[in-house]
Amino acid sequence: DAKTTQPTSMDCAEGRAANLPCNHSTISGNEYVYWYRQIHSQGPQYIIHGLKNNETNEMASLIITEDRKSSTLILPHATLRDTAVYYCIVRGRTSGTYKYIFGTGTRLKVLA
């Protein structure tokens, strides 16, 4: 079972910041939070990951709360090409091994 919960869908105006929340209240130890996105008909694409500190790269920023029970992915200036399903994942121990279990993700629609 996925260890994260996300809203099913969100809309964002083009050029504005898209803030995608994720709840991972059962995160433990040194488990990392990862974000991927899947644009229609393509394989999922890595965006960013973090442990405790906020992270930023050329694609996005990741804000993790101090208690690590939730995080927010920020796309600072959303474009139409950012329309995709965004997955928040914690790679925890499931059925005996540490593997990626994807939830249903958030379907982000960027509006012109």
Which amino acid is present at 56? T
Q: At its nearest, how many Å lie between other proteins and the CB of residue 75?
A: 19
Is residue 101 a contact residue for other proteins (CB under 8 A)? yes
Q: What are phi and psi of 111, to 5 degrees?
A: -100, 135
Spatial separation of the C-alpha atoms in residues 56 and 94, rounded to whole Å: 29
Tell me which of 7, 61, 74, 100 binds other proteins, using CB under 8 A.
100
Pattern 50-69, binding to other proteins, x per CB under 8 A? -x------------------
- Token digits of residue 5: 């919960």
User: Residue 80 in 3-state DSSP?
Assistant: helix
Q: Does 21 bind other proteins (CB under 8 A)?
A: no
Site for other proteins in 66-95 (CB under 8 A): 85, 87, 91-95
Q: Which residue in this structure is represented by tokens 């139409």?
A: 80
* CB of 87 closer than 8 Å to CB of 46: no
Binding-site size, other proteins (CB under 8 A): 30
Judged by the rule CB under 8 A, the positions of this chain that interact with other proteins are 29-32, 34, 38, 42-46, 49, 51, 85, 87, 91-105
